[in-house]
Amino acid sequence: MDSATLDVIDLRLLHALQLDGRAAFSRIADVLGVSDRTVARRFSRLRRTGTARVAGVTSSHRVGHAEWLVRLRALPPAVAPLAHALARRPDTAWVTVASSGTEVICIFRVAGEGPAPLGALGRLPQVTQVDAQRLLRPVMSHRWIGRTSALSDEQITALRPAVTTENAPVALTDLDHRLLPALAADGRAAYPELARHVGWSESAVRRRLDELRRSGVLQFDVEVDSGLFGFFVQCLLWLTVVPARLDGIARTLAGDPEAAFVGSTTGPHNLIAIAVCRDAGALHTYLTDRIGSLEGVDRVETVMITSYTKRAAPAM
């Protein structure tokens, strides 16, 4: 299998892992109708080549963290070092280079209602502008449909784990503070490996991981480039929407096949979305025919995503 090519089995495996990032290979194999060995071999190749990675993602809402969307404009020579420095921080996610290497956009996760820690960033000589807006509410409850459309409804039901509908913040334990970073780095790390890493018994680790998953504190994401699915253009949309129509437009956009993220935010733009399209022509059509037809959208700013330095998982 070429590392840059996904066949039908790969697509189904990635969809299965998006539903349950820690599902046993035997369970996935049974649902897909292939052998355990085939599933294990395929995932090993995807992971070894850097094509796909399973990461444990902590729900900011469930642990009482605020999310700040930070946008930094900088001179081009400073962008790559800045992005890598941000990616190494434990409080950042989704570090993105945009506008052909003239901007860095990322999310800071801050305990409580604290502000984003921007003091040092504003003093960097090659950073020309810093903007931070609070993410108020993510609207989408699903991932981009382009990488979650390979399985049938029956297969999805067979693989999807049960989660709670609770919304109250959860106090993290000492074990959680050790376990969650390890799962962020490798969501499929084996229980004995996790136990050695955190210094707790395997039974305690297994029990707590199950509790975190059922409570919705811990989810798993599959990090994979959309270009492998034939979609080569990603674009940030900053929308200014009439407040009375904000929820309706957000839900409408969340249902679009192009949508990878939709959320409300503070600032001059009150809605942010990420659109994933096959090419620039498809993005043009989406902006004119879809976004342009929505009553209540006053203004749209588009920012092309150049590359990702960090997604949900820690930088390697």
List the pLDDT tens digit at each of the 316 positions of the chain: 444 579 999 999 999 999 999 999 999 999 999 999 999 999 999 999 989 999 999 998 889 899 999 999 999 999 999 999 999 998 999 999 999 999 999 999 998 888 888 877 767 778 899 999 999 998 877 789 988 999 999 999 999 987 766 677 788 999 999 999 999 999 999 999 999 999 999 999 999 999 999 888 999 999 999 999 999 999 999 999 999 999 999 999 999 999 999 999 999 999 999 999 999 999 999 999 999 999 999 999 999 999 999 998 776 5
* Angle, CA of 223, 227 and 233, to the nearest 5°: 110
The domain segmentation of the chain, as residue ranges, is 225-310
CATH number of 225-310: 3.30.70.920
Full-model pTM: 0.89
Helix 174-185 × helix 191-198 angle, to 10° = 130
Cα distance from N-terminal residue to C-terminal residue, the chain: 24
Backbone φ and ψ of 132, nearest 5°: -130, 130
Q: Quote the radius of gyration of the chain (alpha carbons, Å).
A: 20
